[in-house]
Amino acid sequence: MRREEVMMEIKIQRLNQSELKKRDVFSWPIWEKEISCFDWHYDEIEECYFLEGKVDVQTKDGKRVSFGKGDFVSFPKGLSCRWDIKKPVRKHYNFR
């Protein structure tokens, strides 16, 4: 696998409450979105914690990932993808 492919991976984790508090996740802003589909490009790294929802994301190279309630997800800078929101989303988010 080439280095640029590794860096474009969407990382999905299950963090416990202690790890979430350590990252100060619950002080991050909240974003909400109804069931919909849209294209998105990440100009910065985004980390987010899903309070509600279910999402399928497809990257430009055709890779598909799914995540939702309880998942901590990191999107790399430079990633272009398509979001397909299956259940309404409510998430804490942070750009860095």
What's this model's pTM, rounded to 2 decimal places? 0.90
How is the chain split into domains, by residue range? 3-95
Query: For 3-95, CATH number?
Result: 2.60.120.10
Mind listing the pLDDT tens digit of every residue in the chain (96 residues)? 343 444 579 999 999 999 999 999 999 999 999 999 999 999 999 999 999 999 999 999 899 999 999 999 999 999 999 999 999 999 999 999
Give ∠ CA 4-23-75 in degrees, rounded to 5. Answer: 25
* pLDDT value of position 70: 98
* pLDDT value of position 8: 75
